[in-house]
Structure 1
Amino acid sequence: MAPFKVFLGASIVITFFLKRYAEAYMPSRNVVATASEIFAVETVAWLVWRCFLYPIWFSPLRAIPGPSGGSFLMGQSPSLRKDPNGQAHLYRTWSEQIPNDGIIRYLDMFNSEILIPVSPKALAEVLVQRPYEFIKPPWLTGFGKILGVGVLLAEGEEHKKQRKSLMPAFAFRHVKELYPTFWSKSCELVQALILHNENGCRDSDTLSESIDVKDWASRATLDIIGLAGLGRDFDAIKDPENELIRTYKKIFSPGRGGQISGALFMIAPWLMRAMPIKRNDDFEAASQAIKNTCYTILQQEKLTLASNKGGSSAGNILSVAIESGEFTDEGLVNQLMTFLVAGHETTASALSFAIYALCRYPEVQRRLREEVHFRLPDPRSPTSSITSNDIDNFPYLNAVCNEVLRLYAPVAVTGRVAAADTTLVGQYVPKGTTIFIAPWAINADKGSWGEDAENFNPDRWLGESKANSGGIESNYAFLTFLHGPRGCIGQSFAKGEFACLLAAWAGTLETRFASADYVMHVGNGLTTRPKDLEVKVHVVDEW
């Protein structure tokens, strides 16, 4: 943040001394006008220094390699905003084409400096070796009103404490017990899609009306995190006007004005929060609605646990967190807000990309359907149920899921800020420097994944010792869930949920693009998704 408070104080002090000891040198006889003029000069001087002189000629980071060209004032920002597949797609190009020693530097809006760690050593320092020296940026913590100040945004000792307390809720064994819930909601999704498209989709080659993949995916994943995570069925699959769905749509699918406000929020969150704009009112209203929902859920769950005292736990993530005794009610509400957003938006994005891949690669869709039919019960059956073993032992299903998560990471870029003066692979990094970790770039690195790194190829995950690694050797070549103390605590939950949803969809519905000439452009927000993806489905009669 620019030191405007310091400038204001300095301008008042200077005006006072001028008025008292050198009134003849005052630019104006009016003290308010004089202070304003001094403040304006200080601000302009600082902006010239910060936007031009410092980043170009004086920054200790200026020798780090980066892309050439760019705008005189806006750096690489115009190129990043113009790329139809978002900034992370351009990061892929830079990391491949720009020779570097583990870090790339570029100038963003108003020539603000951004570092991108691209080597395993640099990534290890940020994510594993010194994760609390690189904290979440102010623009992300500004989402605390929606995300809650839970394990996602907490820092330092508070983060360690929260993560340790929540680990039992996300333990491998506990998540395995949630697979039947994942599957029941996946079955409900495909049954609802069949009902939605029942006219013209069974006995005709003419497919039914288009399906908005993003909408249906969000509703399904909200139901799953509600039931498996919070012990509450939101019935969003049945009710597209569900209050939470409408609230999240308003926040995460803003219009053009909201997108511009979001971009400016990243540069000056302190200023944007203070401005009387509609976006702030929307955030405040959404925050209150989500908070009220979470508080109600918490009280209901506590009553359920109390009435079941001495019996078995309800089994959802919230019940485990409550029984840990480590959180206040306010702390639990913050965790619920985090679970709701992180637990449904990311998996909805993954499912959207998976449906795109099924349409784009019909042979993948065919092979996946054959495996699902061979191993799973029909989701349309009222008695359809599965266990975690049924899903985990699907080689091709898990290969497709892993390849989607590799090539189309739902969180394409995540930000950090140097909390103090530090170093990165031997390079001095000043306090306040922004660092972007880009899974979209790292996950498609040709040095790790081969020349076909940017191709969708599930077969890379098949074969001896490849099911969990894709055949790569470095732990830092697949960063969809990051690594280290700040790695995704819900990784097992998300992967199990995703696999169940995709298996039910692919096994039941033959899917095609609604428009034969559809070209994927990526929409950026809190998560990344294919823009305007609409499909048509044909129900598979034989199982």
Structure 2
Amino acid sequence: MIPYRLITAVALGGAYLLSSGRIPQWTPFGFLPTFVALWAVQSLAYAFWAVILYPKFFSPLRGLPEPSGNSWFMGQFGKIRASPTGVPMLEWINSVPNDGLIRYLSLFNQEKLFMTSPKALAEVLVTKSYDFVRPGPVRFVLGRILGDSLLIAEGDVHKMQRRNLLPAFAFRHIKDLYPVFWTKAREGVQAMTEEILKGAALNGQPGGRSGVIEASSWASRITLDIIGVAGLGRDFNAIKDPGNPLTEAYARLFKPSRQARTLQLLGLITHPRLVALLPVKRNGDIDASAHHIRAVCANIIQEKKQKLAEKERTDVDILSLMTFLAAGHETTASSMTWAIYLLAKHPEVQRRLRAEVREHLPPPSGADDAASSISSVDIDKMPYLNAVCNEVLRYYGPVPLTPRVAARDTTILGQRVPKGTQVVLVPWAINKSEAMWGADALVFNPDRWMPGPDDADRRAAASGGATSNYAFMTFLHGPRSCIGMSFAKAEFACLLASWIGRFEVELHNKEELDESRIEIKGGVTARPAHGMYVKATVVEGW
């Protein structure tokens, strides 16, 4: 990023001195032409230094391993831009020999430092976690939607917020929410069943039990209702009413479009704050959606405060234990989308999971009191369900890449890392590192999480057979790890059990059996750009 303020200040000062008459031969040029000339010369000089000289001849990181095929001016940016987020790093982690650090060059040869080993990850995430912060542009983009939440707070503010919120996410509180998860999962399954059966009848198939559904939108609606009831004490009715304003607001925020991708690229070249000022439709959608979501949350929080002030008992939910909740539904919805895709690709895993679910859980169409009978114990006693959930979260983590920037001069693995160096944490690469997961790292295999008969096998299954806890980066680690991990995993397990217990799914577009044929949209989470359409068949007997 060009230091515009410094360049502008020097240009202003220089223009004043040169046009003030102290250098007679320069005076005829005037102040404005002199300012423009000085600003342009400085900018070009700085650009030459930043794009060519520094990364190629002076950077302390230039001796680190890096991928081949760099463009002279753009490094690996062409490949990164053409691929889903995290995919190039997955290739590099398994093909570029390294000792824990890989340097690669991006747009205009900006240096990026990619962590590839447990020791490097431990330094960035744990022992030196506050040496590395979210980049300012990323904080601005997230802040447009989330406000000053835990997700973008730094330093002492982050420590204070996390300390205050941690008790609400303790497992003793999360376990009380399993009936909520299951109730909403049942409601979603029943609504999907009705849509499939009605669709079959309308298509001239009376008695038909199959239909095409878009898994991603259904997952979003159900998880939105779950976070509403479990986290905010309000039912948004997104399952029953897909057109309600809150559902549409979230859909607009996360909808991929050519204009969104163009604005994202402009944000890399300039700054997202400037891009946000452009009078284009995408900015209007973001502002309107964020305003509506904040208004809904503010209204709910005000209601809760009033009840607490009047000493009324509120519902059993997370917000009853704190005054603010920075949680969402997009990550779990993304996980559900990929779970349905992977199970459609692996019907033998799907059948095995369905058998376990039907053996241990009541059918969604059963009596209403069946919801209250589902507890954390019921979910925990299904080892294959938990194995499948863990493997989905490993194979397609909802957040493929998390950026950081060095807030001060520091080191990683003894390597000097100057202030301002961009650091990337890439769950999509770490979670499939052959060095940490073995030769089958790129294979979807839930059995890696299945406990064996002896203690050694059980310990290996707890980590999926990986050589380090840092091999599983879906929820990160350390002070910046996902505070809602227990909530998300419990919600995911209940949702997946209900869907697979009721439906047999297969891909509607058979070309997507080849994963390279799926266009994945970027953004905060990774999802199929054009949705995930599957043929769902209502399986009898449950």
Shorter-chain TM-score category?
Answer: over 0.9
Aligned to 1:31: 31
Residue of structure 2 aligned with 1:489, choices 483, 500, 503: 483
Q: Is the 8 A contact 1:410 1:527 kept in 2?
A: yes
Aligned to 1:327: none
Q: Is the 8 A contact 1:138 1:269 kept in 2?
A: no
CA positional deviation for 1:186? 0.4
Q: Distance in 1 between matches of 2:43 and 2:131?
A: 30
Aligned to 1:127: 125
Aligned to 1:152: 151
Residue correspondence of structure 1 range 194-233 to structure 2 within 5 A: 194-199=193-198, 208-233=210-235
Matched, 1:139 2:152: no
Aligned to 2:240: 238
Aligned to 2:274: 271
With over 3 angstroms needed to count, the CA separation of the structure-2 counterparts of 1:531 and 1:288, relative to structure 1, is closer
Q: Is the 8 A contact 1:305 1:314 kept in 2?
A: no
Residue of structure 1 aligned with 2:392, choices 399, 404, 408: 404
Q: Distance in 1 between matches of 2:127 and 2:198?
A: 57
Aligned to 2:455: none
Q: Secondary structure at the match of 2:151?
A: coil
CA positional deviation for 1:283? 2.8
Q: Distance in 2 between matches of 1:524 and 1:247?
A: 18
Give the RMSD, CA atoms, in angstroms: 1.8
Residue correspondence of structure 1 range 366-445 to structure 2 within 5 A: 366-383=351-368, 384-385=370-371, 386-445=374-433
With over 3 angstroms needed to count, the CA separation of the structure-2 counterparts of 1:40 and 1:277, relative to structure 1, is farther
Q: Is the 8 A contact 1:201 1:539 kept in 2?
A: no
Aligned to 1:285: 288
Matched, 1:75 2:75: yes
Q: Is the 8 A contact 1:201 1:537 kept in 2?
A: no
Unaligned ranges ≥5, structure 2:
453-457
Unaligned ranges ≥5, structure 1:
323-331
Q: Percent identity?
A: 48
With over 3 angstroms needed to count, the CA separation of the structure-2 counterparts of 1:292 and 1:523, relative to structure 1, is same
CA positional deviation for 1:8? 1.5
Q: Distance in 2 between matches of 1:279 and 1:489?
A: 30
Aligned to 1:508: 502
Q: Is the 8 A contact 2:200 2:211 kept in 1?
A: no
Aligned to 1:354: 339
Matched, 1:47 2:47: yes
Aligned to 2:541: 542
Q: Is the 8 A contact 1:412 1:440 kept in 2?
A: yes
Aligned to 1:103: 101
Aligned to 1:499: 493
Q: Distance in 2 between matches of 1:41 and 1:145?
A: 35
Residue deviations 1:166-193, cap 9 Å, x none? 1111011100000000000100111110
TM-score (norm 1): 0.92
Residue deviations 1:41-87, cap 9 Å, x none? 1111111111122111111111111111132222111111222xx13
Q: Secondary structure at the match of 2:356?
A: helix
* Deviating more after overlay: 420-429 vs 139-148: 139-148
Aligned to 1:463: 451
CA positional deviation for 1:467? 4.4
CA positional deviation for 1:89? 1.6
Q: Is the 8 A contact 1:395 1:467 kept in 2?
A: no
Aligned to 1:190: 189
Residue of structure 2 aligned with 1:478, choices 447, 467, 472: 472
Aligned to 1:2: 2
Q: Distance in 2 between matches of 1:23 and 1:36?
A: 19
Q: Secondary structure at the match of 2:29?
A: coil
Residue correspondence of structure 1 range 249-268 to structure 2 within 5 A: 249-267=251-269, 268=271
CA positional deviation for 1:468? 2.7
With over 3 angstroms needed to count, the CA separation of the structure-2 counterparts of 1:316 and 1:21, relative to structure 1, is same
With over 3 angstroms needed to count, the CA separation of the structure-2 counterparts of 1:200 and 1:237, relative to structure 1, is closer
Q: Secondary structure at the match of 1:511?
A: strand
Aligned to 1:169: 168
Q: Is the 8 A contact 1:200 1:207 kept in 2?
A: no
Residue correspondence of structure 1 range 440-455 to structure 2 within 5 A: 440-455=428-443
CA positional deviation for 1:13? 1.2
With over 3 angstroms needed to count, the CA separation of the structure-2 counterparts of 1:320 and 1:272, relative to structure 1, is same
Residue deviations 1:280-328, cap 9 Å, x none? 333322222121111101012223334454x5x5221111003xxxxxx
Aligned to 1:328: none
CA positional deviation for 1:274? 4.5
Aligned partner of 1:344: which letter? H
* Deviating more after overlay: 417-426 vs 209-218: 209-218
Residue deviations 1:403-457, cap 9 Å, x none? 0001111011111110011111111111111111011111111122111111000
Aligned to 2:59: 59
Q: Secondary structure at the match of 1:116?
A: strand
Residue deviations 1:219-254, cap 9 Å, x none? 111111111011111111111112122112222213
Aligned to 1:527: 525
With over 3 angstroms needed to count, the CA separation of the structure-2 counterparts of 1:45 and 1:380, relative to structure 1, is same
With over 3 angstroms needed to count, the CA separation of the structure-2 counterparts of 1:540 and 1:175, relative to structure 1, is same
Q: Distance in 2 between matches of 1:266 and 1:320?
A: 39
Q: Secondary structure at the match of 2:216?
A: helix
Q: Distance in 1 between matches of 2:206 and 2:34?
A: 79
Q: Distance in 1 between matches of 2:206 and 2:441?
A: 39
Q: Distance in 2 between matches of 1:226 and 1:116?
A: 37
Q: Distance in 1 between matches of 2:449 and 2:379?
A: 16
* Deviating more after overlay: 51-60 vs 17-26: 17-26
TM-score (norm 2): 0.93
CA positional deviation for 1:270? 4.0
Aligned to 1:326: none
Q: Distance in 1 between matches of 2:40 and 2:218?
A: 52
Q: Distance in 2 between matches of 1:505 and 1:204?
A: 23
Q: Distance in 2 between matches of 1:404 and 1:41?
A: 52
Q: Secondary structure at the match of 1:285?
A: helix
CA positional deviation for 1:382? 3.7
CA positional deviation for 1:209? 4.1
With over 3 angstroms needed to count, the CA separation of the structure-2 counterparts of 1:500 and 1:467, relative to structure 1, is farther
Residue deviations 1:131-158, cap 9 Å, x none? 1110011222112120221111111111
Q: Is the 8 A contact 2:197 2:208 kept in 1?
A: no
With over 3 angstroms needed to count, the CA separation of the structure-2 counterparts of 1:122 and 1:396, relative to structure 1, is same
Aligned partner of 1:455: which letter? V
